[in-house]
Structure 1
């Protein structure tokens, strides 16, 4: 059996994706060299973006598996190196489409990414649980999804999505970690464990700006932002930086929670955003006999939906009622969102239904420039 050609190996390497950037390593010019030795041993030289790349082992495994599947390969050796400054500069330029300075891609006129800012009036209503499960469900349905944990003081998204490694920096560009096919960035990835973030308005604004502009998100179908509760600096900054973002309000059935959730939604009137709908979390606790216990009362979600509709002058639907389930809490603690489990529980079904109702609002081309012009006859 004859050894494969260098061209055949290069072709196979084109199927190996960088796990962070989600593009072929050949397209990113990460393949430094390919050598086919006598006897069928293939030596592949790979240049990483940084020497401390947390996914070095993943890339090694994927290259070995891809090249090893070729007929005539007796063994695969992967030799890791690091990109030069010139290579990193070229990569940054390539990823940014030649743009010299970082821009917020989701705020550009041609962006087709749906941006949902998930908010609540008060803490403890399960806003982050809803965000994490929404992201995982959308990604499981084949969408390209990113999450910004914008709850600077109470960040929890990395744990809930099971992020196990830090972001990779290519000079001033940040490559976000990926968990369950969701790209994630959070201030928690840049702080010491157990240390609080003590920042005021301008620093919060700058942190959010960096998350949106300095992180390489690629072409996303949906970007979710897990906002801090209330109507503070971050909510205002999101409206300024992402004027096309839509608000998803999370509440519980409790009257006190519903009243403050309503205020969190009414801010859209001042920021000129649209409230896409309301999610009522912790709606009830189902008993073994099928009966329900309304631990936090009833009607809060419907009340927020109705009152926001009156205040904003358009329909604000109650999109989902998510019951209390132990598995939902356990999934958040373990980094395995409930929607990814093989379960038809009421909470999982409610969250999947919510995901698909938002996903069906497809990326529209109406009013967008297609970059083409007519040719005269």
Structure 2
């Protein structure tokens, strides 16, 4: 039995509530074996008093089952999380805020097909418009972490573009006052990304640490659907100021979005609010048709103890703007769809306590 075999064995121990193990989470700080005694040091950050007890029991059970182990010593360091964490504070596994970045916000959905990337693109452009009006141009970033299906380049009119390299860092592309980085810039349209978790984690780390973001008031991080490697890698790499959940009104979407919200709460990332997309369709007679039901966004916001930031109706112009690379907030800034996104953007800036023009 060696330190390496102990760590290999500990890959069987999952972090409570997740399918990922404590070794890949980076929580095992050291391991040693001498005279039949296995000794491990583990460090976690949690506000749940049940987690340390559960982890310690699972670690001991795992190690005692290994051949040659007669005794087990577990040093479990627990840091109590503040609620919510202050900007720059590490969450589950650590990470540091890049210099010049004031606030980072994850845009998540849980379920695919709810328009999360379209929402993220228009929110980023709306934030850029508000901050430019406030005398802070070029202070918004959009990091597309949807590794398998990046759509941000198309929606931002940057398809086929490539970032420049400055020394060991990538220079994000900029359009509509938003600095953008995406996996879509690094592979061609005909190359599928077939990666396992460690490669995804490495890419997200590089997007955070090896991209020349410069001075940013807000960095939006467009996450893929689900609660898998990309989400967990992000909270380990970048201390988030919070997350916005995007959902459509029907239970098929809100039930999954709620699980996504619970994931962020488990890793001590505060929920900044829920955005309800495709809330209704307005027909030619001006009547609202609730095609996907109604009330779902407000319901999960209440269940998760957060707020409903806004409702985005089903507008054809929003879809058309994404397909043409001209987000509706840019192509039709005076229209109702753009106004909805600016209202949500202003609400987000207020929650982040970022001064801005009304």
| TM-score (structure 2 length as normaliser) | 0.68
CA distance in 2, matches of 1:321, 1:362: 20
Partner in structure 2 of residue 137 of structure 1: 126
Q: Which has the higher contact order (CA 8 A, sep 6+)?
A: 2
2:287 is the counterpart of 1:298: no
In the alignment, is the contact (CA less than 8 A) between 2:181 and 2:207 conserved in 1? yes
CA distance in 1, matches of 2:344, 2:96: 25
Deviation at 1:239, TM superposition (A): 1.1
CA distance in 2, matches of 1:331, 1:162: 10
2:309 is the counterpart of 1:319: yes
In the alignment, is the contact (CA less than 8 A) between 2:97 and 2:239 conserved in 1? no
Question: What stretches of structure 2 of length at least 5 have no aligned partner?
Answer: 1-94
Deviation at 1:341, TM superposition (A): 2.9
Partner in structure 1 of residue 116 of structure 2: 127
CA distance in 2, matches of 1:286, 1:364: 34
* RMSD (Å) for aligned C-alpha atoms: 1.9
- SS of the residue aligned with 1:184? strand
CA distance in 1, matches of 2:345, 2:207: 23
Deviation at 1:342, TM superposition (A): 3.4
Partner in structure 2 of residue 103 of structure 1: none
Match of 2:326 among 315, 328, 336: 336
In the alignment, is the contact (CA less than 8 A) between 1:227 and 1:234 conserved in 2? yes
| TM-score (structure 1 length as normaliser) | 0.64
2:148 is the counterpart of 1:158: no
CA distance in 2, matches of 1:354, 1:205: 30
In the alignment, is the contact (CA less than 8 A) between 1:150 and 1:225 conserved in 2? yes
Deviation at 1:110, TM superposition (A): 7.5
Distance 1:122 1:349, change over 3 A: same
In the alignment, is the contact (CA less than 8 A) between 1:112 and 1:364 conserved in 2? no
Match of 2:344 among 330, 346, 354: 354
Aligned positions of 1:183-222 closer than 5 A: 183-222=179-218
In the alignment, is the contact (CA less than 8 A) between 1:107 and 1:244 conserved in 2? no
The count of aligned residue pairs is 254
Partner in structure 2 of residue 19 of structure 1: none
Partner in structure 2 of residue 102 of structure 1: none
- SS of the residue aligned with 2:194? coil
Partner in structure 2 of residue 244 of structure 1: 240
Partner in structure 2 of residue 8 of structure 1: none
Question: What stretches of structure 1 of length at least 5 have no aligned partner?
Answer: 1-105, 310-315, 366-377
Max radius of gyration: which structure? Answer: 1
In the alignment, is the contact (CA less than 8 A) between 1:283 and 1:322 conserved in 2? yes
CA distance in 1, matches of 2:143, 2:106: 9
CA distance in 1, matches of 2:181, 2:107: 15
